[in-house]
Amino acid sequence: MRLQIELADEMVEPLYALKDTCALKTNKDLFDNAVTLLEWAVGEVQKGNIIASVNEAEDRMVELQMPVLQAAKRNATNEVIFETPDISHFDNMIDDRNVATDQNEALATMTPAIPEEIEG
């Protein structure tokens, strides 16, 4: 499927900068990563979790507030639409600080799998 979008002029340069910062080669790579992150975030808020940035050194947490996540939370049912992938095999994964003991810690240390094709 081919997807074409129009962007406001002021959005183009920040997207190219983001693509460069993340060492992404194509706009498709940028889109795939953005959708992967959004799917994960929606699945988490549907389960009642929050999406946040945590600075352990400063003992500070900032919750991400986005209309799309608020809508997903409001529209959540007992059935979760987007499941967090089963990463139980990463339970013993070691990062810089300590052993990841739960799925959310392990998920934060892994790279998302990006499909080669976007299918419709």
What does the pLDDT look like over 64-117, one tens digit per residue?
999 999 999 999 875 555 665 555 554 444 343 333 344 444 444 444 444 444
**pLDDT score of 99:** 37
pTM: 0.61
**pLDDT score of 83:** 60
**How far is 53 from 112, CA to CA, in rounded Å?**
18
> What ranges in 2-86 are assigned the alpha helix state H?
9-21, 27-46, 67-74
Who has greater pLDDT, 61 or 119?
A: 61
pLDDT above 70: percentage of residues in the chain: 64
